[in-house]
């Protein structure tokens, strides 16, 4: 029987500050680098989340683990190689 799983995410919002001094000094290059740095940080965050899912092997709502670790038989989806 299929059931829906839920997952919670923590969104760590941070404030990006562009100082008045940077604008007055016409420091456009440092301001232009902000979106690229945010994109890299987002990619790292997603990678860490997925890696954590694979390494922690959490339990689902039916009491079984996400990935078969060789001890569970409740999903009945194990097979033999031919």
Q: Could you tell me if residue 39 is inside a domain?
A: yes
Q: Please give the pLDDT value at position 47.
A: 92
pLDDT tens track of the chain, all 82 residues? 566 777 766 767 777 888 888 888 888 888 888 889 989 988 998 899 889 888 888 888 878 787 776 766 666 666 666 6
pTM of the model: 0.59
Question: Which residue segment(s) compose the domain that 27 sits in?
Answer: 20-56
Contacts of 54 (CB under 8 A, 6+ apart): 67
Q: Could you tell me if residue 13 is inside a domain?
A: no
Q: Could you tell me if residue 1 is inside a domain?
A: no
Q: Per DSSP, what are the bridge partners of residue 65?
A: 59
Q: Name the domain count of the chain.
A: 1
């Amino acid at each position: 029987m299929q059931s829906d799983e839920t997952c919670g995410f923590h969104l760590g919002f941070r404030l990006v500050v562009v100082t008045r001094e940077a604008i007055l000094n016409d420091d456009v290059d440092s301001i232009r680098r902000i979106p690229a740095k945010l994109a890299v940080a987002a990619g790292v965050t997603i990678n860490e989340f997925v890696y954590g899912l694979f390494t922690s092997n959490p339990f689902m709502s039916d009491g079984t683990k996400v990935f078969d670790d060789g001890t569970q038989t409740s999903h009945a989806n194990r097979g033999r190689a031919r």
